[in-house]
Structure formats: C-alpha cells, structure tokens
Structure 1
Amino acid sequence: MKKTTLATLSLAMLGATGAAHAQNSVTLYGIVDTGLTFIHNDGGNGNSYSMSSGNMSGNRFGLKGTEDLGGGLKTIFVLENGFNSTNGKLGQGSRMFGRQAYIGLTGDTWGTVTAGRQYDPLVDLVQPVQGDNWLGGIFSTPGDIDNADNSARVNNSIKYTSPVWAGFQFEGMYSLGGVAGATGSGQSYAGAASYSFGQMNLAAGYYHLSNGNTLAARLAGTTTWDSLFNTSVNAAYQSASSINNARIGGNYTFGPVTAGGYYSYAEYTADGRSLFTRAQKYNTGSVYAMWQVSAPLQAEAGYTYMHSTGNSSAKYNQFALAADYLLSKRTDVYAQVAYALASGTEDPAGGQAQAVIGSATGDSGSNKQALVTVGIRHKF
C-alpha cells in the first residue's frame, strides 16, 4: 500500500542534549471500501439489499511512526482505527483505535518486540497464503470461528517477530489475562512460522485462548481476545473453557496464477462451568486460485468445506468468486459472488445448521445463503 507522509519531524533541535542523530517520522494511511450488497436469506428475513462497508478490506485510518535511536535500533508505533463507511460509526466495539494500538522496538539483527492491541501470529504469517488475503472474507471459514479472517485482535499482548533468515520467519505472542488472583484467566498465547523459497510459500501456527474462570466472564467476553462468537455457527459454545486452533497453509505461483489453501482445526473445550458437555471440534479445508488476468485485472475462485463434531454435527460448503480491477494505483472496483450450503445441527439442542458466508455475512436463518457485492475501494 502506498502511504502518504503526514509529517516528518527533525529532532536536530535536541542537539544540545546529545540526541541530534535521532529522526522521527509519522505517516497517515488508510482504506475506504464501500459497496452495494444483495443477500439471499439474511437473518431469516428473506432477501436484503444494502450499502455495505469493508467488503474487500476493513475500513481504517491509522498513524504509524518510527524513531531512529541509532545503532540499528528504532522505536515503532501503530494507532489504527476501524470504521463503518456507510454511517461513520466506530468499529471493533466502538474503540477509538480498535484495529491496532501498539508500541515497540525493532532491531536490524534481532527482530521486533511490540506491546498492546495486536494481530496474533497466525494472522501475520499464515493468513497471507490463504484465499481471503486476496479478494475478501468470502474465501474464509464460515463464521470465522477460527479467526482465519482476523475478526479478532488480542489485547494486553506482547509479541516477538524474528527477522527473515533465508526465507524463514517466526513469531510468538503472550497476552496477560489481567484478572486479580487468577493469572491464567483470560490469558492467551500463540506462535507461527513461515518459509518461502522460490515460488512456494508455507506457513503454520497455533493459538490457545483461556476463556475465563467463571461462566459470567465467558458469556460477557472478558478474555484478552475479541469475541469469536459472531454467528450461530459456534454461538452455542460461548461458555467454552478454552479455544485452541492449529492452522497450516501454503501457495505456489506459476506464471500469472497463484494456487493455494489452508487446513484449520479449531477446538472449543468444556469443563464444569460450560453449558455443553464435550469438546466441539471444527475441521476446515479451503482451496483457491488467483489469476492475474492483466496488469489491472485479477480474478479468484475458491471452495471451503467445514465439518463440526462433538455436541452437534454439521457440514458447511461454500463457493466463492471475485474479480478486482485497478482504476489507478490507489483506486479499484470489484465484484464478489458467493453461495453457501449447510446441513446437520449446529447446537446441542439440535438446531438446524445455518449457512454463513465466510466472515462476510451473519446468520441466514436457512441452510442456504447467497451474496452478490459490487463496490469501490481507495487506499491512501
């Protein structure tokens, strides 16, 4: 993304204090993405036609900055806001900087340490090889129950990112729960690694989330992560004692085509405080192909299958197509089409599984759902 420099501030005025070598820069950047969307079966209310926000990329504006401390060491920070471009409302639970808010140090040889509200390592290293990294969340896991499309961020987190060594990189993260007298309540940890060689890219990662030590805390969503319970796909398992996810993916580029996919295993565990009795498990496989038709035009097709077992059993099939055309280096127009079909039950009470398209839609109120979106996006 091309960034616009808002201010580059010289600190030469501090020369009297011996800090004349330091330089500080702050950059303003963002994305505005708005479209028109038709959904067949929207929340049990039939068809809907609406203006939609963040279809290809989440809307945002942010500030990012660095200060050169000398000797290859720099201070870095990011403050990134999310918003709805159709009504101007704040996103991510009405947080001012809900997408990201962190500060840290980075060194040329030893890597980067950051602290604050951040993406987990799987988002940083595994998602770039997935289909949703290209043309939107319609290519991701139904309901985003495994955070494959980064619906959730992590609060109170400390993250280490290594340099890239001969194509290899890794990240580790730990997030403090912050509950007095119960250190482990709400805490989380995660790790991921990636490796690139030639036209091949591979990545894998794992995260563990403690969901709180009391039922009230779990239902209130007081963990270090944002909620993963956004649709009926996993709503019955909000009282889980913990959530575990392992994900592996890869892609390969040959000529104008990049093909790849990922496999994800998500587990919602139960204990005596949970409102369900056995671990609920989700196995997801997703494949895609992205074709660079010409310099301004790219198209993508993908298929995602998910099977849940445990307290309930459901199968989800999802088909997605999208195309994007660059009007300039910063502005593009796009179209998305997706169809989902669900079968089986999605909760212990035997409720019928509802179709949900990736992270793009809510509950359908039916076992079928379809989506068509056309829109425009500008990056600055």
Structure 2
Amino acid sequence: MKKSLIALAVLGAFAGAASAQSSVTLYGRADLNVTNEKAGNDVSPLSTAPGESTTKLNDGGGTTGIGGSRWGLRGTEDLGNGVKAVFQLESGFTADTGAQGQGGRLFGRQAWVGLSSATLGEVRFGRQETYSRLNALYWDPSFNGQTKLNEGNTVSAANAADCQALTGSTATQCASTTTVRSRNYLLFQNFGDRQDNVISYTSPSFSGFRFGAQVGLSEQADDNTSDLAGRYQGVTASYANGPFAAGLSYESIKVADVAAGAPNNLNKTFSVGANYNFGVATVYAGYQRVSDVADGSQITSAAANTVAPSSLIVEDQKSYTVGVKVPLGKLTLLANYGNAKYEIRAFGGQELELRKVALGWNYAFSKRTVAYGTFATRSGDLDDNVAIKREFTLFGLAHSF
C-alpha cells in the first residue's frame, strides 16, 4: 500500500511531508489459528499439567503459524548520486487479544534507520534481526513459520526426586507447587531473534555473493570492562544463483559476570544452511553448532521461577535439519525434521536429545490471504530421567496488507 501521504496521515504521530523522491509503505499481517496441543511428560506452555490436551485460539507467532501478527512502516528517500536514506519501524502484537508483543515495545520487531547504495551496500543503526534468524531462509522451508525450529521446548523433571537430581534443589523446594521444574531449549538458537543498539553493514551482490557484519553495543558495564557485557557480534556470507542458495553466519554475545571479578563468558554460534529448487520441489538442509554457553546467556533461557537454573544450563549444542517444500499451484506442502543434542552441565557433559517433525500445508486464496494447517510432534530424552513428548495440530488464516 504505497501511499506516502495517506500512511502518514493515518499515523498522525508520524506526520510529515513526503517528496516525489520519497516513499513510505504501511504494511502488516494478522495471523490467527486454532491449536490443539497434547503434552507428554512435560508441562506444555498451553496446558497446566503433563498429559493434558488443550485447544486455544492463538496468534501465529505464538505457535507455528505463518508468522507473528505485526504492522509497520518502511520507507526510502533519494539523496542523489545513487544513495538513499532507508528506515523500518515494525510493531508486533497478538491478534487473539490485541496485546502488544515483544514485551510491550512499540516497535519491538524492528526499529532502524540507515543509508543504502547499489554500489557500496547498506548500513543500518537500531534494533535489528540476528543473522541466525535471517539465515533460516536457507534451512527452513517456511522461513521461521509453520516448520520453524526456534521455538521453546520445555524440559521438566517428572517427579520430586528427579527435580532434586536435575536442579540441585532441596526436597522442600521440589515439593512446592510454585516450583517450575523445567528449562527451555531451542532446536536452533537465534540470539533472541533480535538485538538492540545494532550497527550493521550488508554488501552489494558480487555475482551472487554477499557478506555482512553486525555489532550490538551492550550499553552496560561489568566488572572487567566498560562495555563488553551483553555485546552481540555477528558476520555472515551468502550466495544465490539460479536454483541454489546458501548462507552461513558466526555470532557471539558476551554474558555479564555472575560474580565480582569473574571473567566474562562468550557464547558462540556457527550456522550454515542451503537449499536447491528442483522445480517440482525445493530441498533444505542446515547445521548449527553452539559452544561455551554460560549462565545468563540469551542462547538458552530458563523458564520462569526455575530453581537453581544453572543446573540445566547447556554447555554445547549440535543441531541439524532437513526439509522440503512442494508447490502444487495455490497449494504448498511443507515438511521438516530437526534434531538437537545438548551437553548438560548438571550431568558432566552427558547429552539431552530433542527431535521435531513438522508437516504443513498452506493454500493461497490470493497473494495476501492464506489458509494453513500444521501437525508437529516433538520428543526427546535425558538419560531416562526426563522424557518429553508434545504434539499439536492447528488450522489458521493469515492476511497481509
């Protein structure tokens, strides 16, 4: 909907003059689905006890829909000599309740301004998506949608005895009804999807090759340095030519000290993926290695109220995925398999394995309106102490503007 004056008039807070060399686009998406989820031995995010089945109306971002509901503004201004000013402001919300997303931020999905040149590349400043989220384009048939691998997986102690063994908590703590005996894991990590205070550069295309770099200024202090705690850094490279596309990235983030005088911890993630379009189908594959994970990291986050969260911290993670997308006119079929193995600190480096299989379809009524359905099941084990099995089926509708 490229109507610069109308978009600015509708959003009076952004009122201003638009020249003939400028453009502003108002865009968005509303995505809702009905989800039936059955928990296994873990406590499902939708249910209140292991084994329960729950049906709810959910926003597409909270489950494996097309994507989270959002609205935004993006625009350009021609500055001459092939240089443009560019910006994007994107706000997320949950369409089932109307509540604001990303912790209540007005523009929690993206908020940046920059300069772009066809010959020199593009530089951006502000809140931006991480490379491990962006590069899912190469290994996920739905690109963080119906078959995504970056959703949380809750690992729970099956009983009070396991709770004590896994978390190092007391019998009283594990017997408490307020104790959450669980921890969240992602099959593919993505540094929280987005980072604040990021300065990024993306090169122009060189015969299909591109590269880029990001630095997220932490703006916080720790015991050893003035500005490293929480600093995000990433580099990426990609190639696209005809039916083949591939991308890789290396990212790290400093974790603030957990004790005075202790050294900073540096969490590191390497991701690579590729896809090939055979015409009748596109196949996808990806691999990720996470190392030196530390307490307090944005790589593996604890569930609320978890007792002794360091006990189930992941030290190392190796993940892979394979998938396929099959276009059949207005109908598209999707399938994806993901596998992750985590080395758990509490078990001296022993492994927890999680697996996910997702099958999906979507039907395009038009370029803007899509109906879809997904079935997914997740399973895993932790040395027979903890077992997880969770499956869900959903049907939804998404409309973009």
For the 8 Å contact 1:146–1:266, the answer to whether it is kept is no
Which piece of structure 1 moves more, 193-202 or 145-154? 145-154
1:304 equivalent in alignment to 2:304: no
Say if 2:354 and 2:381, in contact at 8 Å, map to a contact too.
yes
Worse overlay, 41-50 or 90-99: 41-50
Tell me which residue corresponds to 2:358.
320
Q: Which range moves more in the overlay, 277-286 or 54-63?
A: 277-286
| Paired position in structure 2 for 1:56 | 66
**Counterpart secondary structure, 1:64:** strand
Give 1:376's aligned residue. 397
CA distance in 2, matches of 1:209, 1:22: 42
How far does residue 157 in structure 1 lie from its aligned partner after superposition? 0.5
Counterpart of 2:237 (choices 193, 196, 199) is 193
Match of 1:52, as an amino acid?
Answer: N
Aligned: 1:32 with 2:70: no
Q: Which amino acid aligns with 2:217?
A: L
**Deviates most, 21-30 or 313-322:** 21-30
Aligned to 1:88: 98
Q: CA separation in 2, counterparts of 1:252 and 1:285?
A: 17
Residue number in structure 2 paired with 1:357: none
- Deviation at residue 270 of structure 1 after TM alignment: 4.0
Q: Summarize deviations over 1:326-376 as a string: whole Å, max 9, x none.
A: 11111010000001111116xxxx9625xxxxxxxxxxxxx1100101000
The correspondence for 1:287, drawn from 319, 322, 336, is 322
Displacement of 1:142? 5.7
Q: Is the 8 A contact 1:200 1:251 kept in 2?
A: yes
SS of 1:129's equivalent in the other structure is helix
Report the Cα distance in structure 2 between the residues aligned to 1:344 and 1:306, rounded to whole angstroms: 12
Note if contact 2:335-2:358 (Cα within 8 Å) is conserved in structure 1.
yes
Looking at structure 2, the residues matched to 101 and 135 of structure 1 have their Cα atoms a distance apart, in angstroms, of: 20
In the superposition, relative to structure 1, how do residues 150 and 322 fare at CA in structure 2: closer, same or farther (>3 Å)?
farther
Aligned residues: 325
Q: Deviations over 1:175-230 (max 9, x none)?
A: 111124621111110011111223111111010011223469xxxxxxxxxxxxxx
TM-score, scaled to structure 2: 0.75
Secondary structure (helix, strand or coil) at the match of 2:119 reads coil
TM-score of the superposed pair, with normalisation by structure 1: 0.79
CA RMSD, aligned part only? Answer: 2.8
Q: CA deviation at 1:269?
A: 3.1
1:177 to 218, 222, 230: 218
The gaps in structure 1 that reach 5 residues or longer are: 10-19, 217-239, 354-366
Report matched runs for 1:137-286 at 5 Å: 137-141=146-150, 143=152, 145=186, 148=189, 151-180=192-221, 182-214=226-258, 241-270=265-294, 275=310, 280-286=315-321
Task: Determine what percentage of the aligned residue pairs are the same residue.
Answer: 30
Q: CA deviation at 1:310?
A: 4.0
Distance 1:206 1:137 in 2: 25
* Partner SS state of residue 386, structure 2: coil
Q: Distance in 1 between matches of 2:271 and 2:86?
A: 29
Give, in whole Å, the separation in 2 of the partners of 1:82 and 1:283: 31
Instruction: Assess if the C-alpha contact under 8 Å between 1:247 and 1:263 holds in 2.
Output: yes
Match for 2:371 among 333, 354, 369? 333
The structure-2 alpha-carbon separation of the partners of 1:272 and 1:283, relative to structure 1 and needing over 3 Å to count, comes to closer
- Following superposition, the deviation at residue 76 of structure 1 comes to 0.6
Question: Residues 304 and 21 (structure 1 numbering): CA distance in 2 closer, same or farther, change over 3 Å?
Answer: closer
In structure 2, the residue matched to 1:234 is none
Q: Give the C-alpha shift of residue 276 in structure 1.
A: 5.4
